[in-house]
Structure 1
């Protein structure tokens, strides 16, 4: 009984799908496709600068040659009080981000290069030079703690 019900339901669904596919029509082109003018694709405008989301996580290399070495990954970007990028925080060493040392590197010394159709972030330094720098101290950039409410009333004295 159940087998018959399932079979007829599947058959009805199959027939309904076929009937639906046959009723769909494609609109006829207004002109012969050979005669239609194809508009050239608009060129993509390249902006000056970069989005932070395109920089964070980016691998940093020490050059563009075949012997270029991956010296770390960008973990963060530091901005000055005017909103200009001041430095990038590069995670150096470690394995898959574990045990990496974060160091600050001057943003103006970074360069973008294109290699094999991919954009590379280049820092003219070595992994050893970055590792020798002091750890980046994030505490100066932490948000200020919320002020305590000093207007709170003291509990009433027991009577």
Structure 2
């Protein structure tokens, strides 16, 4: 199972959560504003396969390359429009979190396979390529 498949499953779960009720203010017959309840989304339950990856179990997963070198770990996921995983944030470089920097890669770039009770992730990139990749700066993102 690729990371993209697992993340798409996780995103599907997120999108199936019920929407919070919102209120809209409308003018009443006398022109005074009244509050009216807007419909909430209907809950849709799904059944996941036991092999599905959930983010709580893949965050922190060590990432290796084709030479079986450790090149980093999965630090985060970027979800756009509330449902699509658009990037996997890898923590690369550094030692014990000191000097670590973050790079964003496409979910298609990461292969995720079950490894016993956990997960194994790999990318087709060298340490040098990852060290030269553009930095993902959390401070600039909202």
Root mean square deviation, CA, Å: 2.3
SS of residue paired to 2:128? helix
Equivalent of 1:52, from 55, 74, 82?
55
Gaps of at least 5 residues in structure 1 are: 1-44, 143-159
Q: Deviations over 1:73-103 (max 9, x none)?
A: 1111111214121111111111111111111
Structure of larger gyration radius: 1
Could you state the TM-score of these two structures normalised by the residue count of structure 1?
0.52
Gaps of at least 5 residues in structure 2 are: 1-48
Q: Greater relative contact order: 1 or 2 (C-alpha under 8 angstroms, separation 6 or more)?
A: 2
Which structure shows the higher strand fraction?
2
Matched pairs, number = 95
SS of residue paired to 1:131? helix
Post-superposition, which runs of at least 4 consecutive aligned residues in structure 1 deviate over 4 A?
A: 114-118
Q: Deviations over 1:20-56 (max 9, x none)?
A: xxxxxxxxxxxxxxxxxxxxxxxxx4355x2111221
2:64 maps to: 61
